[in-house]
């Protein structure tokens, strides 16, 4: 059945639509932190549909909310008042930390970043955008144009002039040997120098932790230091929270809060986890930025009633069960367990991350050269052992990405760490 489905997939879908594993699997159902494939094999899920199943699979509170809403009305578009959309917008605006916030819902993180770019370039009357090296912001024409990761940039054509800034990868690049204080100072000096050679940009867009880039991040405080430089020049700061939001990093509800010395960003974008699998994205912005458009606009599917019902139920569950605290506690145990295991594997260059957002970078032993073959081998070995993880990285996809649902318990974390340790040892 799966082999037949794979053949059908290949005959009608694009060649560039990536599939994991030498023998791709069809996931048929899930419960809690586990999923099952079409062959009946059970897996501990440490990737959550690319950080999207944030609380749990088949969570009764969410499935009931979706079912109840589907029995009333599924969709009406933004041309009509929509109570679930207003209620979720009210909650997100308050949680965002952005003063006088307005919220616009989309169907994905790509579309959310698209919208943020439209707002920033219109508000600032500039099509120049600052972005981080090793970044990823989506697959649309404009978001590809600000993605600083060669593996996810199929074209250099863009409606934007993008200038790439140092700082998103702490352990690589020209400033890697510096201590944190000097690293931040060097990145700020580089930003100031860059701004001295170009017309004023509209905004800097940055992921607090780079997702597709392999869960890399700068020292805490870098974006606060950047914000001070940007604010002096009227340049906006957009925090791409598509992967880092909703408490995944444990220490903070939003990734930007690790850099919060100078206050919240002008805009933040979100998606993935808030819908727990339903298609929700969005932008939060100060009212004068959100309201700067002088043409009509709607969203046909953004904010539709059924996705908003899921988002409300998911957010309520997350807050009432302190899943941010759970990500901090269980994530802390998991990362220490993985660091201890990785210390015995020469191919592991670094174990990094925070909360339940953990990256393991693999290189050719004794060198700094990326080893994507080793990453693929570990991915396969983990699946054979009953664990699903992801891949990423800006250096030939040589990082493993670990991002379980935030309800992961200690026993499951230990089980996953055991499987991953065996998978890592298999490449020695």
Which band of pLDDT confidence, cut at 50, 70 and 90, is reported for residue 1? Answer: very low
Could you give the strand order of the β-sheet that contains 281-286, starting from the edge strand earlier in sequence?
Answer: 101-106, 281-286, 267-270, 236-240, 203-206, 128-132, 161-165
Residue position matching structure tokens 């578009």: 77
152 or 401: which leads in pLDDT: 401
Topology (CATH) of 81-287+299-320: 3.40.640
Burial category of 231 from C-beta neighbours within 10 Å (exposed 0-12, middle 13-18, buried 19 and up) = middle
With a pLDDT cut of 90, the percent of the chain lying above it is: 94
User: Tell me, what's the pLDDT at 260?
Assistant: 79
Domain map (residue ranges) of the chain: 81-287+299-320
End-to-end CA distance of the chain: 35
User: Tell me, what's the pLDDT at 196?
Assistant: 95
The mean pLDDT value of the chain amounts to 96
Return d(Cα 250, Cα 229) in angstroms, integer: 28
User: Tell me, what's the pLDDT at 3?
Assistant: 67
Mean pLDDT within 177-189: 97
Q: What is the pLDDT of residues 333-347, one digit of tens each?
A: 999 999 999 999 999
User: Tell me, what's the pLDDT at 352?
Assistant: 97
Q: Does the pLDDT value for residue 115 go beyond 60?
A: yes
User: Tell me, what's the pLDDT at 152?
Assistant: 85
> Which runs of consecutive H residues, i.e. helices, occur in 283-409?
287-290, 305-320, 323-342, 372-384
Strands 390-392 and 399-402: antiparallel
Q: What is the pLDDT of residues 39-50, one digit of tens each?
A: 999 999 999 999
Q: Does the pLDDT value for residue 201 go beyond 90?
A: yes
Residue position matching structure tokens 């990500």: 327
Q: Which range, 54-58, 143-147, 395-399, has the best average confidence (pLDDT)?
A: 54-58
Under a CB-based contact definition with an 8 Å cutoff, are residues 284 and 256 in contact? no
Q: What is the CA radius of gyration of the chain?
A: 21
pTM (2 d.p.): 0.95
Q: Does the pLDDT value for residue 262 go beyond 80?
A: no
Which helix H or strand E contains 123, and what residues bound it? helix 109-124
Q: What is the pLDDT of residues 375-402, one digit of tens each?
A: 999 999 999 999 999 999 987 779 999 9
Between CA 176 and CA 181, with CA 179 as vertex, the angle to 5 degrees is: 115
């Amino acid at each position: 059945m799966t082999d037949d489905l794979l053949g059908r997939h290949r005959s009608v879908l694009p060649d560039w639509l990536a599939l994991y594993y030498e023998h791709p699997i069809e996931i048929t159902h899930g419960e809690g932190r586990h999923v099952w494939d079409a062959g009946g094999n059970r897996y501990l899920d440490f990737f959550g549909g690319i950080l999207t199943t944030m609380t749990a699979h088949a969570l009764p509170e969410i499935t009931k909310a979706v079912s109840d809403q589907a029995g009333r009305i599924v969709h009406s578009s933004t041309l009509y008042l929509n109570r679930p959309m207003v209620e979720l917008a009210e909650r997100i605006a308050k949680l965002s930390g952005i003063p006088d916030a307005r919220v616009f819902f989309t169907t994905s993180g790509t579309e959310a970043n698209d919208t943020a770019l439209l707002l920033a370039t219109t508000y600032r009357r500039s099509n120049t955008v600052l972005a981080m090296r090793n970044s990823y912001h989506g697959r649309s024409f404009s978001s590809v144009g600000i993605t600083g990761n060669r593996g996810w940039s199929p074209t250099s054509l863009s409606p934007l002039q993008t200038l790439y800034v140092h700082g998103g990868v702490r352990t690589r690049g020209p400033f890697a040997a510096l201590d944190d204080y000097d690293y931040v100072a060097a990145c700020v000096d580089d930003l100031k120098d860059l701004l001295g050679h170009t017309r004023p940009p509209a905004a800097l867009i940055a992921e607090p932790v780079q997702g597709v880039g392999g869960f890399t991040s700068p020292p805490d405080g870098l974006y606060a230091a950047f914000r001070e430089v940007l604010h002096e020049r009227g340049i906006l700061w957009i925090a791409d929270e598509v992967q880092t939001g909703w408490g995944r990093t444990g220490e903070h509800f939003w990734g930007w809060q690790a850099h919060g010395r100078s206050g919240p960003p002008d805009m933040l974008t979100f998606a993935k986890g808030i819908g727990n699998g339903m298609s929700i994205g969005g932008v939060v912005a100060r009212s004068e930025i959100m309201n700067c458009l002088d043409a009509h606009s709607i969203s046909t599917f953004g904010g539709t009633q059924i996705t908003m019902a899921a988002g409300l139920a998911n957010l309520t569950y997350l807050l009432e069960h302190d899943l941010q605290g759970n990500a901090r506690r269980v994530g802390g145990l998991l990362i220490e367990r993985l660091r201890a295991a990785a210390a015995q594997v020469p191919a592991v260059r670094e174990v990094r991350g925070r909360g339940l957002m953990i990256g393991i970078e693999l290189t050719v032993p004794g060198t700094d050269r990326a080893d994507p073959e080793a990453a693929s081998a570990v991915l396969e070995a983990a699946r054979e052992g009953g664990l699903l993880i992801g891949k990423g990285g800006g250096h030939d996809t040589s990082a493993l990405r670990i991002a379980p649902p935030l309800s992961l318990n200690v026993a499951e974390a230990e089980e996953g760490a055991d499987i991953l340790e065996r998978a890592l040892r298999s490449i020695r």
